A and B are shown apart, each in its own frame.
Chain A
Amino acid sequence: MARKITYQQAINEALDQEMTRDPSVIVMGEDVAGGAGAPGEEDSWGGVLGVTKGLFAKHPGRVLDTPISESGYVGAAVGAACNGLRPVAELMFIDFMGVCFDQIFNQAAKFRYMFGGKAKTPVVIRAMYGAGFRAAAQHSQCLYNIFTHIPGLKVVIPSNPYDAKGLLIQSIRDNDPVIFLEHKALYTMEGDVPEESYVVPFGEAAVVHEGDDVTIVAFGRMVNYAKDVAGTLRKKGVQCDVIDPRTTSPMDFDTILESVERTGRLVVVDESHPRCSMASDVSGFIAQEAFGALKAPIQMVTAPHSPVPFAAVLEDLYIPSPARIEEAVMRVKEYK
């Protein structure tokens, strides 16, 4: 039975249902409950934005507050995964990967290969990402491309509540390390989400809008912008495919390739910086695999090569806007 809930509620529900189903699932992170050792209420925060609220009481002993020691507890999650648990570690802001990256990319990502296929590391690392909250350079980045670069990691960036729940359940059941990234601007987004448990498989893109003129590939929050732009342009007679890869590793290149071979025009929308990005990754792939099908140069709509600024006027300039997406689509559509 589907009903409308928010992206944030969908994530909480996925965690709750998996913890109920499987006692080896634990949640750990800074203030995932909040109040540990303090004289006031337990579960006082339930995560810095309340995403894990309520899990503490429902799953005694399996929601663990940690010291602010990202290397320590992310590494502990990795070690626990090697010893039979399925930990979901919350890194709070993805920007904090900088203090614990070794445990993710040199340890978790490498074990299976380096140990000759004899290890599995079913750990999920959740974090929020993205600009738009006036949170400035150290709390606003989109770093999914960095994780995507690393063999051994899987990277998930749901764009809506339905995918958030199904992809998180898949992440927890998956036997590889998964980086699960939640755009903070999407936490309040509502959508139809079934009450029952379900999975959305990795490596299967969603085509969220269909059309034969231009292919738009967008990531995370940008999927919603691209979908809105495609709706507007339909009324103006321009038909767009909008593809949401949903996971950047594995990545469903087949769906993108099939679409571009039909449309001959590609716009990639990515909230991260342009260099070594998902935008350049998809562009490079299509340039190599579908050069003959292209009727116009590929357009990338990205943030600039700058840190995320604080001042509202600058941050609004920084984030790719629907207007820039529309311009890029029209540029490839009208290219002669």
Chain B
Amino acid sequence: MSSPLTREGLLQAYRTMRTIRDFEERVHVDFATGEIPGFVHLYAGEEASATGICMHLNRDDYIASTHRGHGHCIAKGVDPVGMMAEIWGKRTGTCKGKGGSMHIADLEVGMLGANGIVGGGGPLICGTALASKIRGSNNVGVCFFGDGASNQGTIFEAMNLAAVWKLPVLFVGENNGYAEATSSNFSVACENIADRASAFGMPGVIVDGFDFFAVHEAAGEAIKRAREGGGPTLLEVKLSRYYGHFEGDQQTYRAPGEVQHLRDTKDCLMQFAKRVTSRGELTMADIEAIDREVKAMIDASVVKAKADPVPLPEDLMADIYVSY
């Protein structure tokens, strides 16, 4: 076991997971009204993964994320208020309304971007880790990718490169069972994504993504090893998404009742609350206080996002280059 979480740590973990959940549930509701533009891919159901991993990271550690990136952003410390404005296409957004849901990034907190290209982040995170290594810092890079991206050449190339250069990288394969509408049972040729680690000479670990504590412990070991110069690890987190590939996806490829069953029996927030209250580590009052606080914050972020100004015409040609 890695060192047990303090009360503060447990509160932080729950607050982060609750923030992600409420953020996503709210975007789901608002997207259905037609007011939010573009493509949105929700992370609800997967909160324990981003949270359990990013709790081990410092501001100067980088993560590379995916098209399903809101949860990674929040867990890495991107301001949800700015994110909400970004998703609404507002000038006050994290990326001034020029990135949108699929490209939220905040390099100041080590968030190298959600990514519209499946598998795009693997090579990039090797680069941030290489820079850390050359500088002699002990910072690490974490590449989140899905079961779909697990079949991309970029991910294979990145895993090999990280192993060859012995880079401080954690590859996190979030296997939610579906690449768009195609099951990973079909598209991933081996039984587990983690099985592929041996091909690159790195440890491969499988963890239950509904269990925050399991994720937190497994990630802690891998990140510690990376910081100490022990090279990369592939961590497969088995989990599920509660919503479709994108908002509007009717998910006819899933079994009837599949999601509801997971919500009722395995939900990561439910399991977390049950465990910490039954052990007396936190009280229901603690949990409910966070629930109220987060709900108020998300509600306020939407009110603000709706009222915020849209980008100006001159923003169209701004920030293409540093100089040109």
CB pair A71 B153 closer than 8 Å: yes
Which residues in A have their C-beta under 8 angstroms from that of B130?
76, 79-80, 85
Looking at B130, B318, B319, B321, which has the most chain A CB atoms within 10 Å of its CB? B321
Determine whether B93 belongs to the interface, using a CB cutoff of 8 Å to chain A.
yes
The CA-CA distance from A84 to B135 in the complex, in Å, is: 9
Chain A window 111-136, contacts with chain B (Cβ cutoff 8 Å), 1 for yes, 0 for no:
11111111110000000000000000
Determine whether B270 belongs to the interface, using a CB cutoff of 8 Å to chain A.
no
**A247 to chain B: closest CB distance in Å?**
11
Which one of A71, A75, A81, A114 lies within 8 Å of B105 (CB-CB)?
A114
CB pair B127 A80 closer than 8 Å: yes
Which residues in B have their C-beta under 8 angstroms from that of A107?
115, 117, 120, 124
Which residues in B have their C-beta under 8 angstroms from that of A118?
95, 105-108
Per the 8 Å Cβ criterion, residues 67-95 of A in contact with B are 67, 69, 71-85, 87
Of the 9-residue stretches B19-27, B160-168, B279-287, which lies at the interface with chain A? B160-168
Looking at A62, A72, A110, which has the most chain B CB atoms within 10 Å of its CB? A72
Which one of A26, A67, A102, A154 lies within 8 Å of B120 (CB-CB)?
A102
CB pair A75 B324 closer than 8 Å: no
CB pair B95 A114 closer than 8 Å: yes
Which residues in B have their C-beta under 8 angstroms from that of A80?
127-128, 130-131, 134
Looking at A66, A83, A112, A174, which has the most chain B CB atoms within 10 Å of its CB? A83
The CA-CA distance from A103 to B135 in the complex, in Å, is: 23
Of all chain B residues, the one with the shortest Cβ separation from A81 is B127
Looking at B134, B154, B160, which has the most chain A CB atoms within 10 Å of its CB? B134
Of all chain B residues, the one with the shortest Cβ separation from A121 is B322
CB pair B154 A75 closer than 8 Å: yes
CB pair A79 B134 closer than 8 Å: no
Which one of B97, B125, B153, B161 lies within 8 Å of A73 (CB-CB)?
B161
CB pair B94 A85 closer than 8 Å: no
CB pair A78 B95 closer than 8 Å: no
Determine whether B96 belongs to the interface, using a CB cutoff of 8 Å to chain A.
yes
Looking at A64, A85, A152, which has the most chain B CB atoms within 10 Å of its CB? A85
Looking at B95, B115, B123, B323, which has the most chain A CB atoms within 10 Å of its CB? B123
CB pair A117 B318 closer than 8 Å: yes
CB pair A154 B123 closer than 8 Å: no
**B311 to chain A: closest CB distance in Å?**
10
CB pair A64 B165 closer than 8 Å: yes
CB pair A119 B134 closer than 8 Å: no
Interface residues on B, range: 35 or more
CB pair B123 A115 closer than 8 Å: no
**B161 to chain A: closest CB distance in Å?**
4
The CA-CA distance from A69 to B157 in the complex, in Å, is: 6
Which residues in B have their C-beta under 8 angstroms from that of A106?
116-117, 120
- With A67-B164, A107-B124 given, is the CB distance from A102 to B321 under 8 Å? no
CB pair B122 A75 closer than 8 Å: yes
Determine whether A176 belongs to the interface, using a CB cutoff of 8 Å to chain B.
yes
- With A76-B124, A76-B161 given, is the CB distance from A154 to B112 under 8 Å? no
Which residues in A have their C-beta under 8 angstroms from that of B154?
71-72, 75, 102-103
Determine whether B320 belongs to the interface, using a CB cutoff of 8 Å to chain A.
yes
Which residues in A have their C-beta under 8 angstroms from that of B112?
79, 82
Which residues in B have their C-beta under 8 angstroms from that of A110?
103
- With A66-B161, A69-B157, A154-B321 given, is the CB distance from A84 to B131 under 8 Å? yes
The CA-CA distance from A66 to B124 in the complex, in Å, is: 15
Which residues in A have their C-beta under 8 angstroms from that of B124?
75-76, 78-79, 82, 103, 107
Which residues in A have their C-beta under 8 angstroms from that of B320?
112-113, 151-152
CB pair B99 A103 closer than 8 Å: no
Which one of B98, B116, B141 lies within 8 Å of A113 (CB-CB)?
B98
The CA-CA distance from A103 to B125 in the complex, in Å, is: 12
The CA-CA distance from A310 to B128 in the complex, in Å, is: 41
Which one of B113, B120, B318, B322 lies within 8 Å of A176 (CB-CB)?
B322
CB pair B160 A69 closer than 8 Å: yes
**A173 to chain B: closest CB distance in Å?**
11
Which one of A72, A85, A112 lies within 8 Å of B123 (CB-CB)?
A72
Determine whether A250 belongs to the interface, using a CB cutoff of 8 Å to chain B.
yes
Which residues in A have their C-beta under 8 angstroms from that of B98?
113-116
Determine whether B62 belongs to the interface, using a CB cutoff of 8 Å to chain A.
yes
Per the 8 Å Cβ criterion, residues 298-323 of B in contact with A are 318-323
Determine whether A61 belongs to the interface, using a CB cutoff of 8 Å to chain B.
yes
The CA-CA distance from A81 to B128 in the complex, in Å, is: 8
CB pair A69 B161 closer than 8 Å: yes
The CA-CA distance from A176 to B324 in the complex, in Å, is: 9
The CA-CA distance from A73 to B153 in the complex, in Å, is: 12
CB pair A114 B322 closer than 8 Å: no
Of all chain B residues, the one with the shortest Cβ separation from A62 is B134
CB pair B107 A115 closer than 8 Å: yes
CB pair A82 B103 closer than 8 Å: no
Determine whether A44 belongs to the interface, using a CB cutoff of 8 Å to chain B.
no
The CA-CA distance from A27 to B321 in the complex, in Å, is: 23
Looking at B106, B108, B165, which has the most chain A CB atoms within 10 Å of its CB? B165
Determine whether B175 belongs to the interface, using a CB cutoff of 8 Å to chain A.
no
Determine whether A175 belongs to the interface, using a CB cutoff of 8 Å to chain B.
yes
Which residues in B have their C-beta under 8 angstroms from that of A111?
105, 113
**A155 to chain B: closest CB distance in Å?**
12
**B170 to chain A: closest CB distance in Å?**
15
Determine whether B158 belongs to the interface, using a CB cutoff of 8 Å to chain A.
yes
What 8 pairs across the A-B complex have the smallest Cβ distances? A75-B123, A79-B127, A72-B157, A117-B319, A79-B124, A116-B96, A116-B95, A80-B127
Known: A73-B126, A79-B128, A80-B128. 14 other contacts (CB 8 A): A71-B153, A72-B161, A73-B123, A79-B64, A80-B134, A82-B127, A83-B131, A103-B120, A115-B95, A116-B94, A116-B98, A152-B320, A154-B321, A203-B324
Q: Contact residues of A with B, CB < 8 Å? A: 26, 61-62, 64, 66-67, 69, 71-85, 87, 102-103, 106-107, 110-120, 151-152, 154, 174-176, 203, 250
A/B interface sample: 10 pairs, CB < 8 A: A62-B134, A67-B161, A73-B161, A79-B62, A82-B127, A102-B117, A102-B120, A103-B154, A118-B106, A203-B324
